Structure 1
Amino acid sequence: MATFEATAEAAAKNLESGRTLRELSDLFTPMAIRVAITLRIAQKIDAGRLTAEALAADTATDADVLERVLLHLVTIGVLTRNDRGEFGLTRIGEDMLVENGKAANPPWLDLNTVAGRAELAFTRLLDVARTGEVAYSAQYGTSFWDDLTRDPSSGTDFDVVMAGGMERRIREIAEAYDWGALGSVVDVGGGNGTLLTGLLHAHPRLRGTVLDRHAEPALRTFEDVGLGERATATTGSFLDPLPPGAGGYILSRIQSDWNDADVRTILSHCLEAARPHGKVIVVDEFATEEGVRCDSEDDLRMLVYYGGKERTMEQVRALAADVGLSVESLRKAADWTVMELAPAEN
């Protein structure tokens, strides 16, 4: 999560660079970039299709329209164009091809993916302000989560994005808490099993289950890494009652994706499944303080995609208290926190 100082610094740079309100609010630049990413323009240029005609033929688009989009990308410094009408990639344009040494094409910018489609729901932000409805549902007539369930490939893409953010923190999360003492855990909404795999490798006594909308991705992960005897996965929803009896119920990067009522429901189901001696463990990055949401972009995404919000630790603690859970311990895991919850004493 960006710090408040970094956010202020970015604002100051915008002022120093002379960027105008018009430049900060235009829609044609981000849409042109998204179209280029969706059509894999960078990859096709890299493969030798350099003219608008060649690129249009390879993307089943209109050559004149595509050229006009590409010329705007030249204007803003994403592409180059020589006297022969051949397009190339600038340093910025190469980010569409490779990012941090890995193949790029980020799914949240690809208009064919559920995450890319979700970005278009920002055009409903005024409606959200007026009505409180979820922008994604208003835009498409269905929830983000239902779209993931209906389209397994989108669900897989989403799991990969979530796993990418988790992989950088697994070692710290595994070391921050004595997971092995729980005996068994259910990773509630655990996606493709990336977090649970890391915990099982670090704690040989631990066994675990992923519960998510599709069990197959996690089952494949466990089979691939040789954890089939200690890990399994089941299909389900944390908005429904959960399988009881595990030593711990993990909620990792879940609380920000839902509104307050749904978070209470999720925590309540975890509590009921964990009784009488189990733990509910929230693994997440929290907003820093009430009224200051440092990562304002992510906070707005939570709002538009799901009707959720980036919460402070105290806000999550209060929602937990509403359903009868109290904080037993807090442990830092790099920039994340492991919050251990247990049934509150009456």
Structure 2
Amino acid sequence: MSTAGQEEPDLRSIYHASGPWTGQTLYVAAHLGLADLLDDDPRGIGDIAKATASDEDALYRFCRALTALGMLAEHPGRSFTLRQAGRALRRDAADGFRDGVLLQSGAVFRAWADVLHTVRTGRPAFDHALGMDYFEFLAANPEEARVFNRAMGATMPAAIAALEHYAFGTCATVVDVGGGDGRLLASVLSRHPGMHGVLQDLPGTVSQAGENLSGVADRCTLVGESFFDAVATGGDVYILSRVLHDWDDDNAGRILRRVREAMPAHGRLILVESVLRPADGDLRSVLGDLLMLVVLGGRERTESEWAELLESAGFTMRQVWDDPGLATTRGHSVIEAVARAEADRPDTAHSSPPKAA
């Protein structure tokens, strides 16, 4: 049913604007580093082809398509310059998406070609198409793992923004479970000089966190261990940022139960995750949910689904905060939960919603 005053979507327009060739054309630009080779001065296609070891005619046709997509501008003599939108594909772009394109249009794209396997079995097409699960694939392909880590790092500012005004109160120790390269934990510790932090992730991941933690290293402990095996004890607040959406309910529940085992009675759990609201036309999140399903077997969740998942693992959801109008959070909601045995006690400490900036 259409909303009054809105035009019905046109299937051809939707598909042509977002069909596989669009993403793969951007993949060509990202993989070849075209944005790094171009600027405001026109550069001939022959020169660009030599610099990228490409066939000149084929590359010209891709550049022509990139021009139609608004990434490049074409000039006489089959030469091109970089437009503002295309600068997001530069390696050093502050808010770039080059690694996101490389991630989603590389090996992940092969899973989408086998997407009916997921629809019919409920299992990740990635495993079926590549013969291993996604994390096994990353372990076997170091360059893909580096792209993955950089792409995940590019989403970190949104998670940091989502937690910027969270009231940690009297928290003495915060544990970032699955905390990756430590940037989120470093941002929390930098705003709370008296707080100690614990960064837990796989050994190879936490070993790369040194530079990000340089300003707070004296207040930070590194734990290289899978959260499926155990979670560091002693925290007052536990953070899981963009971790649980990677997993189905069974595995997400296992992670949460490990946190519950480690967390003291007065502890709090903070999730930074998307909260699905499909009735609001939340296209980005529902398509993100499909990405989780097809590649990882994970899922994005509605507020009620988060509540049910937390309840099954021994938690009670306290509050959910987000600001859909705040671009810097990009759909990153903050979900606070406490151990279920503590949930109804009036003296259980919990925070207030973040104040407006």
Q: TM-score, normalised by structure 1?
A: 0.81
Structure 2: distance between partners of 1:276 and 1:246: 11
Query: In 1, distance between residues paired with 2:70 and 2:152?
Result: 30
- Conserved? CA contact 1:136–1:144, under 8 Å: yes
Decide which of 5, 9, 25 is 1:32's aligned counterpart.
25
Matched, 1:298 2:295: no
Give the match's secondary structure for 2:135.
helix
Letter paired with 2:136: D
Number of the residue aligned with 1:71: 64
* 1:144 and 2:144 aligned: no
- Specify the SS of the correspondent of 2:101: coil
Q: Does 1:175 align with 2:168?
A: no
Q: Distance in 2 between matches of 1:192 and 1:98?
A: 19
Note the alpha carbon deviations across 1:210-256, whole angstroms, 9 max, x for none: 11121122233112x2x111112222222222233322322112221
Distance 1:289 1:300, change over 3 A: closer
* 1:265-322 Cα shifts (integer Å, max 9, x gaps): 1111111111454333323331136897552221222122211111012211111211
Instruction: Give the alignment of 1:11-30 within 5 angstroms.
Output: 12=7, 15=10, 20=13, 23-24=16-17, 26-30=19-23
Cα separation, 2, equivalents of 1:182 and 1:115:
41
Q: What are the equivalent positions in structure 2 for 1:292-331 lying under 5 Å apart?
A: 294=283, 295-327=285-317, 329-330=318-319
Q: Equivalent residue for 2:334?
A: 337
Identity of aligned residues (%): 27
Distance 1:78 1:229 in 2: 44
**Cα deviation digits, residues 125-144 of structure 1 (max 9, x gap):** 22210121212222322222
* Amino acid in structure 1 at the alignment position of 2:298: G
Q: Is the 8 A contact 1:188 1:251 kept in 2?
A: yes
Name the aligned partner's letter for residue 344 of structure 1: A
Which residue in 1 is equivalent to 2:257? 268
**Aligned partners of 2:148, 2:108: CA distance in 1, in Å?**
12
Give the counterpart letter for 1:199 in structure 2.
Answer: V
Q: Would the aligned equivalents of 2:234 and 2:263 in 1 still touch at CA under 8 Å?
A: yes
Amino acid at match of 1:219: G
Distance, in Å, in 2 between the alignment partners of 1:292 and 1:77 is: 26
Alignment-derived partner of residue 125 in structure 2: 135
Pairwise CA RMSD? 3.4
Q: Aligned residue for 1:256?
A: 245
Q: Secondary structure at the match of 1:176?
A: coil
How far does the alpha carbon of each residue in 1:89-113 deviate from its partner, in whole angstroms, 9 at most, with x for none?
34544543499x7374521212xx5
Change (3 A) 1:332 1:71: closer
Q: CA, structure 1 residues 211+149, in 2 after alignment: closer, same or farther (shift >3 Å)?
A: farther
C-alpha contact (below 8 Å) 2:36/2:91 kept by paired residues: no
1:206 maps to 2:195: yes
The one-letter amino acid of 1:129's match is V
* Aligned residues of 1:176 and 1:331 also touching (Cα < 8 A): no
| Comparing 63-72 and 213-222, the one that deviates more | 63-72
Are the counterparts in 2 of residues 108 and 116 from structure 1 also a CA contact under 8 Å? no
Q: Is the 8 A contact 1:293 1:310 kept in 2?
A: no
